[in-house]
Structure 1
C-alpha cells in the first residue's frame, strides 16, 4: 500500500502515559476472550456497557496532539487524513472524528477502555481508540494479515462507525435492539452495523487514491490482504478458533464470508449507498 507521501492528520498520542492498570484485578483470560469476541472493536451500540465493566469514566486524559515521529504513529496520521479526505466528498455535513493512540488502557467518554477490546469507536466523544499492539495480535493470535492495508482496514472500519453515528444509523439500531424480541434478533442488528462499517472501509479504499492525488492508494495484492483479514475475523472463524461450536444466534459481527463480501462490495462500488446491510435483515 502506498501511504508514506500522504497528508498527515493530527492524532492524540497517549502512549507512555501509564494508563494500563485496571481496577479490580488482572486481565489474563479476559483479554483473549475479548480479542476474539470484539475483534475490530465493540459496535457503538454496546461500547459504553462493556467499557464500564473495566472501571468508571473518570477524568479524561489528554495526550500530545499532532503527528507522532515513529512510523506506526505516522501511518495512523496518514490514514486518518485519508479517511477525512474521502468522507468529506461522500457525506454531506461530514465532521471528522477524534483519534487516539494509547497503550494498554485509557479513559474514554464511554468508560475505561483497554487494548483487550481491540480498536473501538466511542460515540459519546466521537473518538476512535487504537492500541497499536493489536496489529501484532492480528497476525500472531488471529491469523490475519499484518500488511499495511489490513491495518488501514482496521482504522477505516472504526471510522465507518463514526459515519453511522453521523447518519443516525447507530441510534436507529439501538432503538431497534430495544424493541427486539430476544438476543438473537438484537444480534442481527449488530451484525448489520458491523458489516456496514466493513463496506464503508471498502468505500474509503476505493476512493483514497483520487482523494489524495495518488499519495495514498492500494497496490496489487492489497485488497486480497484485506479480504484475508476479513475472513480471519468472522464470527464463525473465531468461534472455531476458540474451540467451540459455531452458534449463528450469537454472531455480532458477521461470518467470514459476509465480512469479505461487504468489504469487497464497498471497494467495487466506491459508493456508500451500496452499503445497505440492513435490508438483508
Structure 2
C-alpha cells in the first residue's frame, strides 16, 4: 500500500511515551484468547474490565515524554502508517456524509504501548484494536500488528489498513444508531439473538472498511500488487469459525459474534468492489 509521504490525520493521541508500558508475558494461550475475544471491534468491555486494575497501576507510573520513546523502528513506522490510514477514512467519510447533507464527526485514534485507559475500561496490549463508543476513540497498540502477522498469518500494511478502517466502521455505526440498536438487542433478547445481531454489526463494519479502501483507491491510487491478498488473508483469519477451530478444534455457529471467514470476506469485498453504502445493510440482508 502506498502510504509513505501522504497526509496524516491530526486526530491522534499518541500515548506511547507517557508510561503504561508493561512487560510482555502471560503465556501464548492468554494472547490467543485475547485476540479471539477482542480482535476487530465487537464489545470488548468484558475483557477490558479484567484488565482495568493492571492498566490503572501502570498508568500511575506514567509521565510526559517522547511519544516514540522506547519504541522499535517498526512500531514508529506503523504509527505513521496508522495516521495516514485514519486520514483516508476521514476524507472518505466526510465526502459520503456530505453527499447526504450531513457533517462527519471523526473519531480520535489513540496510539498506546502496553496499557492505557478508555471510557470503556482499561486497555492492554493483548486486547487488540477496539472502538469505544463512550469516548468516540479507536484504541490501537501498534505492536498488535506483529501479533496479526505472527499469530494469525495476516501480514502487510494493507491488512493493517483494513483493521483500522474496520474500527472506524464501528464509529460510523455509533453515529448512525446501529450500535445502540444492537446494544438494545443484547440487553433484551436471548443470547442467540444477541450473537446474531453482533455478527451483523461486525459484517457491516467489514463492508465499511471495504468502502473506505474502494474510495481511497479511486482518489489516491494507493493499492499495490499483493495488497488485496493481504486484506483477504486478514478477513479470513479472524472469522469465528476459523478462530474457534484454532482454539478448541471445532466451531459452534450459535456462539459466533463476528461472522464466519467466508462471510467476513464476502462483505469486505462487496464494499471494496462497489463502494456503495446502499449495499451494506447487513441488518436487512436476506443472506449474510
Q: TM-score, normalised by structure 1?
A: 0.88
Question: Is 1:188 aligned to residue 204 of structure 2?
Answer: no
2:89 counterpart of 1:83: yes
CA distance in 1, matches of 2:63, 2:267: 36
The structure 1 segments of at least 4 consecutive aligned residues displaced by more than 4 Å after TM superposition are 56-69
TM-score (norm 2): 0.85
Contact preservation (8 Å) 1:67, 1:77 = no
Q: Tell me, yes or no, if the aligned pair for 1:86 and 1:208 is still in contact at 8 Å.
A: yes
**Count of aligned positions:** 270
1:93 to 85, 103, 106: 103
- Provide the rounded CA distance (Å) in 2 between the counterparts of 1:123 and 1:62: 26
Among residues 128, 132, 135, which one is paired with 2:145 in the alignment? Answer: 135
Contact map agreement 1:121 1:129 (CA 8 A) in 2: yes
**2:118 equivalent to 1:117:** no
**Structure 1 residues 109 and 9, CA, compared in 2 at 3 Å: closer, same or farther?**
same
User: Retained in 1: the 8 A contact 2:17–2:64?
Assistant: no
What is aligned with 1:102?
112
Deviation at 1:50, TM superposition (A): 3.2
Stretches of structure 2 lacking an aligned partner (at least 5 in a row):
none
Structure 1 portions without partners, runs of 5+: none
How big is each residue's C-alpha offset from its partner over 1:166-210, in whole Å with a ceiling of 9 and x where there is no partner? 111100111122221x21111011111011000000000000134
Partner of 1:157: 166
Write the distance in 2 (CA, Å) between the matches of 1:21 and 1:133.
12
CA–CA distance in structure 1, aligned partners of residues 125 and 133 of structure 2: 18
* TM-fit CA distance, 1:62: 9.0
Q: Are 1:148 and 2:154 an aligned pair?
A: no
Conservation of the 8 A alpha-carbon contact between 1:14 and 1:62: no
Deviation of the 1:66 alpha carbon? 9.7
CA contact (8 A) 1:109 1:124 kept: yes
Q: Shift of the alpha carbon at 1:274?
A: 1.3
Structure 2 counterpart of 1:73, from 43, 65, 79: 79
Deviation at residue 65 of structure 1 after TM alignment = 11
